[in-house]
Amino acid sequence: MSEKVKKFISENWDSCIKRNRNDEDTLIGLPYPYTVPAVGHFDEMYYWDTYFTNKGLLLDGRAEQAKYNVDDMLYLVNRYGFMPNGNRTYYLTHSQPPFLSSMVRDIYEYYNDTVWLYAAYHMLEKEYDFWQTKRTLAIGLNHYDSEMKNEEMYQDMAEDFERRAGFMPHVEVHTLGRHYRTTAESGWDITPRWDYDAFQYAAVDLNSLLFMMERNMSFFAETLNNGEESIWLDRAEKRKKQMLDKMDNGEGLLLDYNFATGKRSDILSAASFYPLFAGLAEQKHAEALVNNLDRLESEYGILTCEKNDAEGIYQWDYPNGWACLQYIAMVGLDRYGYKAEAKRIAEKYIKLVDKTFDETGNLWEKYNVISGGLDVTNEYKMPAMMGWSAGVYLAAADYLEK
């Protein structure tokens, strides 16, 4: 680990903190200071980015700011009934990967404030209801989706997909527009994981996170002694059973499941580490993924997707690597006893960030984990990044020091 990078991160957190209490134009005001992903590029907080950012804030002695971030999210859940992609009015059509219960658990385990947890628990119930009423399938699993007001919006989204991917698929405009907006909710905007109908997939990462939420809620219920812990455990076990039944490809790999066709994704992606991260996989699933690590691991870390021949330009694809996915893989592998592999992933991410920092003086949104550089597949000009790049760097360093 480079002390230069660690010092850079510590000195730059403050430049990523915004204080906007009042609604202004599209920006939704928040009651507490909040963390944005990068200096000069954003005025809004992003949902799933903040989970990884908070890991870094907690490790760097900034627990108060981590708690502010979570309190701002709880405020948004209370105001809108769910946690939107970020605090912008144009993000009120969709959410992002539901990490909030895990963020609440991190803050509770730091402060041990049961009065605060009592209020947070009821906000999390609201978020859970959103996923169970707005994003649920008949098979008992959940999917990413989006809500648009009129057909013109689907046309706009389809055209935006064409602009970013560099081509127009031969599918209906409505389907493509809905697919594109759905990938925004998944956080993987855009990716070849799901063909052009992401909304028809029970995503392995989403359902793993909801399993974690159900387990977290059981822990919170037991802590609060409200008698609801078994309800949440039953929900988690039902989800686990359905996931292992529908998502296993027959070789032990857990993949996204298309509930309309009954088929699984043709592309192995880093999303398959989420069942390990959540602790719902059986040992055989972890073993199967480790046996296929060569499809996702490169010299500088974990690939977003294995190499594939999908048409178009996708930033959530080969050869790009994202900080968040290095963390999910590292924690998941460690959880199932693959500590050497977890350590190797952590070391590769540290080496990659140190190398590019020496070359550029910055951390970045994503990296090419084949070349170890910034020659990434881009759909827009890539910004320098603190956020999850910094948070995961500190988490990987902390893991290696234990």
Q: Annotated active-site positions, please?
A: 189, 365
**How much of the chain is helix, strand and coil, in % rounded to 5?**
55, 10, 35
d(CA 382, CA 362) in angstroms, rounded, equals 12
- As given in the structure block, the two tokens for residue 201 are 């997939």
- As given in the structure block, the two tokens for residue 343 are 């350590």
d(CA 97, CA 206) in angstroms, rounded, equals 6
Give strand ranges (E) for 160-287: 201-202, 257-258, 263-264
- As given in the structure block, the two tokens for residue 303 are 């690939």
Determine the straight-line distance between the first and last CA of the chain, rounded to whole angstroms. 13
- As given in the structure block, the two tokens for residue 261 are 């066709």
Q: What is the DSSP letter of 383?
A: P
Give strand ranges (E) for 309-378: 320-321, 367-368
Which residues are paired to 263 by β-bridges? 258
Quick one: how far is CA 65 from the chain centroid?
20
Angle at 287 between CA 281 and CA 288, to 5 degrees: 90
Quick one: how far is CA 281 from the chain centroid?
18
Grouping H, G, I as helix, E, B as strand and the rest as coil, residue 364 is: strand
